[in-house]
Amino acid sequence: MENDRYAKELEVAVRVVHVACALCRRVQEKLFSNDSDHVLSKDDDSPVTVADFSVQATVSWLLSSTFGVENVSIVAEEDIQTISKDDSANLLAAVVNTVNESLALASNYGLQSPESTLGNSEVLEAIRRCNSTGGLRGRHWILDPVDGTLGFVRGDQYAVALALIEDGNALLGVLGCPNYPLKAESLNYNYQHHHETMSESSSLVCDTSEKGCILYARKGSGEAWLQPLISRDKVLEWPNYAQLIRVSSVDDPALATLCEPVERANSNHSFTAGLAHSVGLRKQPLRVHSMVKYAAIARGDAEIFMKFARSGYKEKIWDHAAGVVIVEEAGGVVTDAGGRPLDFSKGMYLECLDRGIIACSGITLHEKLIAAVYASWDSSNL
Ligand SMILES: Nc1ncnc2c1ncn2[C@@H]1O[C@H](COP(=O)(O)OS(=O)(=O)O)[C@@H](OP(=O)(O)O)[C@H]1O
Ligand SMILES: [Mg+2]
Ligand SMILES: [Mg+2]
Ligand SMILES: [Mg+2]
């Protein structure tokens, strides 16, 4: 039956992301309680933490144990370079600990726990196995273990993103957003609070029972779903414990909210400000770390997400695949700046991406923005 296709994969992916989100929360609590040194820099100077490696190992192990290691191909962000350096013994030990702790809890989420504790080499192997490059043929899981690592270390927004592509098409998307409040206003509040005080961690301290959700969708279903991050007994009732979400119906630019990356280094804020102005947006942009921006569009908390990286930067498929499926099934539109759909079939990068990414709650806003890009490109300074 067509409707049942990928049902098992989706259910497993959602459960796996629940496990991963719980892992991230535990690591984030530790990060703030003992000021640990577990934030490292990768070769490109971007941050990476115990959580990034631990989630990648955990997801890798769980997918392999569920579907069989020979059936699982994973394209993911992290490799074992940083973590297998001689001076990374502490980091590796922390990762192995965290992975074992999480996998032991996996059976509470309806997944298989290992029979015995994993050793260093097994954990490294689980991380290393996620070295597929994807492409046009076959089935590949696409994983960003922690998206918005900067948000994660700041105690702000971050996401765990898992997607499934088959023959280059993104079919399933799951986004875990552990710090995304169930009420939209709090996203706004957190951001402004954060911004005004320039504090790097103050927005973390609030009631976590109100926070955290997982969004998921299957391509072509016309439905996107939201689950609160919930205690394990409720996960077992899945999928009963989920609600349908839908994009915003606002199509008047004056009422629309734009969200975009926090870091100027990741997106050209002045270019998007110019576009926003030319289509008649009035509100201040909402700057949010990670694929929570896609979640905000899918949930109807914002209408537009734009990202224009500096020229020369190649967008990675794990930063977008899950978000695109969810936004589209929730009724939104996602394309590059030329109006073409994102192409996940070219390996780990969005090779053919035309300039930037524009995701909207509907076609009216989307067409206006594409036209504005077309009109303003010549005068831009990207
Ligand atoms: N130079 C540059 N330009 C554009 N994009 C970059 C760049 N460097 C990194 N990245 C990718 O951006 C991911 C984070 O995107 P965000 O939208 O969350 O950025 S921000 O933190 O809000 O500024 C981030 O994902 P994670 O590494 O998973 O955090 C990167 O894949
Ligand atoms: Mg990312
Ligand atoms: Mg990441
Ligand atoms: Mg990273």
Fold exhibited by the domain 253-379: D-Maltodextrin-Binding Protein; domain 2 (3.40.190)
Strand extents, DSSP E, 123-167: 139-147, 159-166
Flag whether pLDDT at 285 surpasses 70: yes
Residue 61, both tokens: 């192990």
Task: Note the residue count of the chain.
Answer: 382
Name the least confident of 117-131, 203-217, 236-250. 203-217
Q: Is the ipTM of this complex over 0.90?
A: yes
> At residue 333, what are phi and psi to the nearest 5 degrees?
-125, 130
Ligand 4 centre distance from Cα of residue 144 (Å): 8
For position 190, what pLDDT does the model report?
A: 45
* 249 CB neighbour count, 10 Å cutoff: 10
Neighbouring residues of 156: CB distance < 8 A, sequence distance ≥ 6: 148, 179, 190, 194, 203, 204, 289
Report how far Cα 181 is from the mean position of its chain's Cα atoms. 15
Residues 2-30: tens digit of each pLDDT: 567 899 999 999 999 999 999 999 999 88
Residue 347, both tokens: 């390996």
Could you tell me which of 130, 171, 182, 145 has the C-alpha nearest to residue 290?
Answer: 145
Which residues make up each annotated binding site for Mg(2+)? Answer: 77, 144, 147, 319
Mutate to test the pocket of ligand 1, among 59, 147, 200, 266 (most ligand atoms within 8 A of CB): 266
Higher pLDDT, 237 or 318: 318
Buried b / exposed e along 197-210 (16+ C-beta atoms within 10 A): eeeeeebbeeeeee
Cβ of 316 less than 6 Å from ligand 1: yes
Q: Which atom of ligand 1 is nearest to the CA of 150?
A: 21
Ligand 2 centre distance from Cα of residue 190 (Å): 21
Ligand 3 centre distance from Cα of residue 371 (Å): 32
Q: Which ligand gives the minimal distance to the CA of 48? A: 4
Cβ of 78 less than 6 Å from ligand 1: no
Could you tell me which of 221, 224, 230 has the C-alpha nearest to residue 244?
Answer: 224
CA nearest ligand 1 atom 21, residue: 289
Q: What is the mean pLDDT of the chain?
A: 90
Neighbouring residues of 285: CB distance < 8 A, sequence distance ≥ 6: 257, 258, 259, 260, 269, 272, 273, 276
Contact 99, 341 (CB under 8 A): no
* Peptide bond preceding 239 in cis form (omega within 30 of 0): yes
2-245 CATH? 3.30.540.10
Known catalytic residues are 52, 149
The Cα–Cα gap between 10 and 12 comes to 5
What is residue 291's DSSP assignment? Answer: T
Categorize the per-residue pLDDT at 185 as very low, low, confident or very high, splitting at 50, 70 and 90. low
What is residue 313's DSSP assignment? Answer: -
Mutate to test the pocket of ligand 1, among 153, 319, 353 (most ligand atoms within 8 A of CB): 319
For the chain, which residues make up each domain, given as ranges? Answer: 2-245, 253-379
CA nearest ligand 1 atom 18, residue: 290
SS3 141: strand
Flag whether pLDDT at 381 surpasses 60: no
Flag whether pLDDT at 369 surpasses 70: yes
Ligand 1 centre distance from Cα of residue 315 (Å): 9
- List, in sequence order, every residue forming a beta bridge with 35; answer none if it has no partner: none
